[in-house]
Amino acid sequence: MKPKSKAMGRVACLLSASIASLLRGAGSFDEHPYSLSASFKTPMDTLAGLTDWAQGINYVYAITTVVVAIVFLAVSIPLVYAIRRFRVSDEEWGTLVPPKQVHGNAILEFTWTIIPVILLLFIAVPTWQIIFRQPEKHQVPANAMRIEVIGHQWWWEFRYPELGITTANELHLPEKTPVYFEISSADVIHSFWVPQFGGKMDALPGKGAENHLFFTTPVLQHPEKKGGEYYQGQCAELCGLSHALMRFEAVLHEKAEFERWATVFHNPPVVQTDLEKKGEQVFMQCMSCHTIEKTPSADLEKQLLAMTPPAHKAGPNLTDFGSRRMIAAGTRHNTAENFHDWVHDPSSIKPGSKMVSLGLPQADIEAVAAYLRYSTAKTY
């Protein structure tokens, strides 16, 4: 059987990993990708919770880890001891007089029925504490910022009703602010999850099936840096072919910076060069699915929404595309090369992608790249 040291080592390993992660928070990413340290400092670390909600989870998690470790020791030590102590050789076995035929012991059995109940209370009470600390829909503070999160195959739409903003795959948030997410889906079930901001919440399709999530955004870890801090999110429910590639980024800003982002968001695209002008024309072909504020594509969207029943555009809103760090739902960096590959053949990057390849000639792709990557870039 398992030697004792192995069992102990395993617990120690789990414990130290948990504790180390609890203490640390998200780290830099310069190590070798296969190194042990890189394997415990990851952008999706569930133990590096920053919000009140995430830290509540980690509080229960830490207690549970200790309880579970105690139980594991209480099982593995006697188990390993019994196996070693009472082993007899194959030759001897069967020839010996059988041991005392003990059928049970009521007191012992009662004891190990009661002790787990008590231990479980140590998990249950903080669990319930955290569950009931999370406000329900009607308890959400009035000053909380409301954000609608809509899952699509395979990208995320974020709407800020109070700010009149609709964007995709990049969730901008002010620091130290209560935010209230209304999570739903336009097609199949997705799950909205930024591990460092807390647990996940499923995005269900259908009227009245919206889910709610509330937390207060954390303080900036490096306030001196401009342009926001990036936290990774990912869809956590199997939602079809490209489920693995349905990522997004949450960008945390200093409050004033967030205000600026929300203001400049509404600026029309700045079309300067000839290439950008050509791109603006090419983009007309993308208009039936994509919208850029203050352009004809936005007028088209208004017309579609005025129909009965209202029709929604299938693709993400690209108003601030130029200032997004990633494209293709947080899976590729926003470079000219990646942009080209994506527009040229979306399903080669994202299997089953609903975005069609328009078969644009090379020059047109370059033009629309220039338009989208530079004209829509907002400085804040």
Partner 1 sequence: MAKCLPNTGVISWITTVDHKRIGIMYAVSAFFFLLCGGIEALLMRTQLAIPNNTLVTAGTFNSLVTMHGTTMIFLFVMPLSAAFFNFLTPLMIGAPDVAFPRMNALSYWIFLFGGLLLNFSFVVRLAPDGGWFNYANLTGKAFSPSHAIDFWVFGVQILGLASLIAAINFLVTILNMRCKGMTLLKMPIFIWTTLVTQVLLILALPVITVALVMMTFDRTFGTGFFDPAGGGQVIMWQHFFWIFGHPEVYILILPAMGIVSEILPTFSRKPLFGYTVMVYSSCAIGFLGFAVWAHHMFTTGLGPWAQALFSAATMLIAVPTGVKIFNWISTLWGGQIRFTTAMLFAMSFIAMFTFGGLSGVMHSSPPIDSQHQDTYFVVAHFHYVLYGGAVMALFGGIFYWFPKVFGYYLHEGMGKAQFWLYMLGFNLTFFPMHFLGMQGMPRRVFTYAGDQGWNLWNLVATSGSYVTALGGVMFVVNIVYTMATKKKKAPADCWDGRTLEWSLASPPPEYNFAVDPEVKNLDDWWHQKYTHDGRRLTPRYQPDVDPATKHLPHPSFWPIILAAGLEIVAIGFFFDEVGHYISVAGLVVTLLATYGWIFEEA
- Residue 239 found at the interface with partner 1 (CB under 8 A): yes
- Residue 212 found at the interface with partner 1 (CB under 8 A): yes
* Residues in 30-69 that interact with partner 1 by CB under 8 A: 33-36, 38-47, 56-57, 60-61, 64-65, 67-68
Give the phi and the psi of residue 30 in degrees, each rounded to 5: -100, -10
Q: What is the DSSP string of 41-70?
A: S-TT-TT---SHHHHHHHHHHHHHHHHHHH
Count residues near partner 1 (CB under 8 A). 105
With CA atoms as reference, report the closest residue to 18 among 78, 55, 53, 61. Answer: 61
Ordered alpha helix ranges (H), 159-268: 255-264
- Residue 94 found at the interface with partner 1 (CB under 8 A): yes
Q: How far is the CB of 285 from partner 1 (least distance, A)?
A: 27
Give the pair of three-digit tokens for residue 131: 């569950």
- Residue 140 found at the interface with partner 1 (CB under 8 A): no
Angle between helices 52-85 and 106-133 (to 10 degrees): 160
Q: Which of 23, 108, 142, 306 binds partner 1 (CB under 8 A)?
A: 108
* Residues in 248-277 that interact with partner 1 by CB under 8 A: none
What is the enclosing helix (H) or strand (E) of 276?
helix 274-282
- Residue 235 found at the interface with partner 1 (CB under 8 A): yes
- Residue 374 found at the interface with partner 1 (CB under 8 A): no
Angle between helices 362-370 and 336-344 (to 10 degrees): 130
Nearer to partner 1, 92 or 224 (CB): 92
Q: How far is the CB of 19 from partner 1 (least distance, A)?
A: 12
- Residue 166 found at the interface with partner 1 (CB under 8 A): no
- Residue 171 found at the interface with partner 1 (CB under 8 A): no
Q: Which of 14, 140, 314, 360 binds partner 1 (CB under 8 A)?
A: 14
Q: How far is the CB of 108 from partner 1 (least distance, A)?
A: 7
CB 346 within 8 A of CB 357: yes
- Residue 12 found at the interface with partner 1 (CB under 8 A): no
- Residue 234 found at the interface with partner 1 (CB under 8 A): yes
User: What CA–CA distance (Å, rounded) separates 347 from 241?
Assistant: 10
- Residue 289 found at the interface with partner 1 (CB under 8 A): no
Q: Could you give the C-alpha distances from 156 to 356, 358, 362, in angstroms and in order? A: 18, 22, 28
Nearer to partner 1, 127 or 221 (CB): 127
* Residues in 146-165 that interact with partner 1 by CB under 8 A: 153
What is the enclosing helix (H) or strand (E) of 120?
helix 106-133
- Residue 7 found at the interface with partner 1 (CB under 8 A): yes
Contacting range for partner 1; rule: CB under 8 A; set: 187-195, 251-259, 289-297, 372-380: 187-195
- Residue 128 found at the interface with partner 1 (CB under 8 A): yes
Nearer to partner 1, 207 or 302 (CB): 207
Contacting range for partner 1; rule: CB under 8 A; set: 106-114, 215-223, 282-290, 310-318: 106-114
CB 322 within 8 A of CB 372: yes
- Residue 99 found at the interface with partner 1 (CB under 8 A): yes
Nearer to partner 1, 97 or 142 (CB): 97
User: What CA–CA distance (Å, rounded) separates 29 from 230?
Assistant: 13
Q: Which of 51, 242, 295, 323 binds partner 1 (CB under 8 A)?
A: 242
Q: Which residues of 39-60 are buried (b: 16+ CB within 10 A; e: fewer)?
A: ebbbbebbbbbbbbbbebbbeb
CB 361 within 8 A of CB 269: no
Q: How far is the CB of 377 from partner 1 (least distance, A)?
A: 24
- Residue 241 found at the interface with partner 1 (CB under 8 A): yes
- Residue 25 found at the interface with partner 1 (CB under 8 A): no
User: What CA–CA distance (Å, rounded) separates 370 from 274?
Assistant: 10
- Residue 307 found at the interface with partner 1 (CB under 8 A): no
- Residue 134 found at the interface with partner 1 (CB under 8 A): yes
Q: Which residues of 115-138 are buried (b: 16+ CB within 10 A; e: fewer)?
A: eeeeeeeeeeebeeeeeeebeeee
